[in-house]
Structure 1
């Protein structure tokens, strides 16, 4: 797909494909929030606004490629008229001006969605303070970068929207955008990594089943793809900065990895909200290891539901039938424990003959048994309920 002459189609196809995928993920997020959880919150609406901005960046990238970005500077086989060249230069200036502002705003909105989500789950004071500080830093840096790009020509602001920006930048003392691009990329890499690591100490301290904790950590750790995408975009900026007369061609690398970065951020930020859907897909495995209560039963472990419904053949001489005929004050004698720390262990008798012998023994010497027994539940399921 990366053609040696024109990268336009590659950028356009990638932009629409990734943005469509992000739209699907956000739609699933809204489904989980509305029909599973029951309500939407502020950070969900912020993410929806970020998705709208991403579509704006996508459409703007389409026009950037339409006006010649991603092409080599040497002419094509067909003749190019001065009017067409002017048309391309004007469109390129306007589309790049829109891109550099909309891209920064979109990234800031995505970060705010994640930070507001952190703020909604923050119970520790330290974590809450760090989230608020992060929001302030992201806001200040984003506003500063957007303003610097918006007024890149303070002496003549209209020059940024005209072909003159490509030839008269130094004459009108416009800002050099290369350092701004590097500063913005470095800030995004650092802030993305910090936002990714921010909730991990809290997640490690949560009291929950191991499998559920691991699944949460995996969902949050997917965000590591965002700083990776930002780092690759930084490489694209480096190629563009050193390209010289090929800047128009290598600018497509910056646009391409910008789309990867934005959509990866949206997908990773929405991943934790998809947990109910993931639970539904892998419900059986999740219920088996994290939702069932487990108790010791003989030499193995069994769930509470299995203990309440033993799968043993019914026998007229079994303990379950004989137990119904005994008085309500009858309590079985517990065996002697040799350890200091006693555990309530429900043991299954090996054969029915031993059960009948014990019941006959307890029934014939009821009075002596009552005087020796400690207070314990009368049945196995009562023992489990009380434990």
Structure 2
């Protein structure tokens, strides 16, 4: 039995996006009920998930409209009235997909980068995060604007008359639209996406290697942050498919479904790999919550005073230890919040990952 490649894209997209929805829902559960806080990184991922569902719907209409005609119909004038509606839907859905795909990936990356920003204590690391955020936003904005204005008149991008004019054989009969070849834009955008994926994966590695914790815990943290390599693998495969797709118009028709398929894999891999590290709190939350209660810090008892003045105890003294400076303030080691929240504690104390009040959004 023959199954249309476009239908396979829809099935894979629905399956992966449903899995991403469950993972993001569990992420919100862990962040709100086990950690007691959630912030911008979670909301950005939710927006990315909604946009991914939008891409899935667009993929469905791409399959529905493109299955209503054959490319051979383009050179038969008598058949053109039968395919104009479906052709217009195909052109319009591809035009929308070019923008929604880039924006969805942008929100996935911004969610990861905002998480880095929340836990970064090294000033150099924080600056690199801000630079990467700026680059991702600017590159996505440029790709989106270029996709909108693929043609001098944006409506020509889904105009059936403008599209069919290239098959008339008499160019002077109908003046063609002024549009640029989108293949170069897509190849360039795919290269930028792959580059930013690698940068985001490597950003926290130097800081994690410099942590003053046992080697096994250090490697565990690196493993948690390296889950995103799944998205990089999907991005590499999509880049390869993109190169094949851009070789010729015949290849564009042949590999169009593969391009959409790996676009779904790439986006959903980013959502899942960025959310999975939070799900480990489901299995560690209860045990660590009880252990945290047993290790609860007991403040020092006030000593009797002869002058009957109220006792003043500095709250920062509870966090001071052998590394405290003479003023009594703690000396925070680089990335000090990561081991406490991701490798040791899954209880509400992990809410220190993001410096904000419980149950308060950013």
Pairwise same-fold verdict (TM > 0.5): yes
Instruction: Name the counterpart of 1:134.
Output: 132
What residue ranges of structure 1 are gaps of 5+ in the alignment?
A: 294-387
Deviations 1:13-54 (A, max 9, x none): 000000001001101100100110011111101110110000
Aligned residues of 2:69 and 2:83 also touching (Cα < 8 A): no
* 2:158 counterpart (149, 157, 161): 161
| Pairing 1:124–2:129 present | no
RMSD: 2.8
Corresponding residue for 1:268? 273
Alpha carbons 2:162, 2:176 under 8 Å: kept? no
Corresponding residue for residue 16 of structure 1: 14
Conserved in 1, the CA contact under 8 Å of 2:48 and 2:107?
A: yes
Q: 1:72 to 1:212 in 2, by over 3 A?
A: farther
CA separation in 1, counterparts of 2:254 and 2:69?
Answer: 5
Q: Give the Cα separation in 1 of the matches to 2:96 and 2:67.
A: 14
Distance verdict in 2 for CA 1:211–1:140, change over 3 Å:
same
Q: Go from structure 1 to structure 2 and tell me whether the alpha carbon gap of 1:69 and 1:44 turns closer, same or farther (over 3 Å shift).
A: farther
Superposed displacement of residue 173, structure 1: 2.1
Matched with 1:143 is 141
Which one has a bigger Cα radius of gyration?
1
2:247 is the counterpart of 1:250: no
Residue aligning to 2:237: 232
Distance 1:94 1:276, change over 3 A: same
Distance in 2, matches of 1:70 and 1:259, equals 23
Determine which structure has greater relative contact order: mean sequence separation of CA pairs < 8 Å that are 6+ residues apart, divided by chain length. Answer: 2
Tell me which residue corresponds to 1:177. Answer: 182
Q: Which runs of 5+ in 2 are unaligned?
A: 167-174, 296-362
Q: Distance in 2 between matches of 1:108 and 1:71?
A: 34
Query: Aligned equivalents of 2:277 and 2:67: distance in 1?
Result: 36
3-state SS in 2 of match to 1:239:
helix
Pair 194,246 (structure 1): closer, same or farther in 2 beyond 3 Å: closer
| CA deviations over 1:106-128 (Å, ceiling 9, x no partner) | 11111111111110011001101
Residue by residue over 1:206-229, the C-alpha shift from the partner in whole angstroms, topping out at 9 and shown as x without a partner, is 233444333222121111111211
Aligned length: 280
TM-score, with structure 1 as normaliser: 0.67
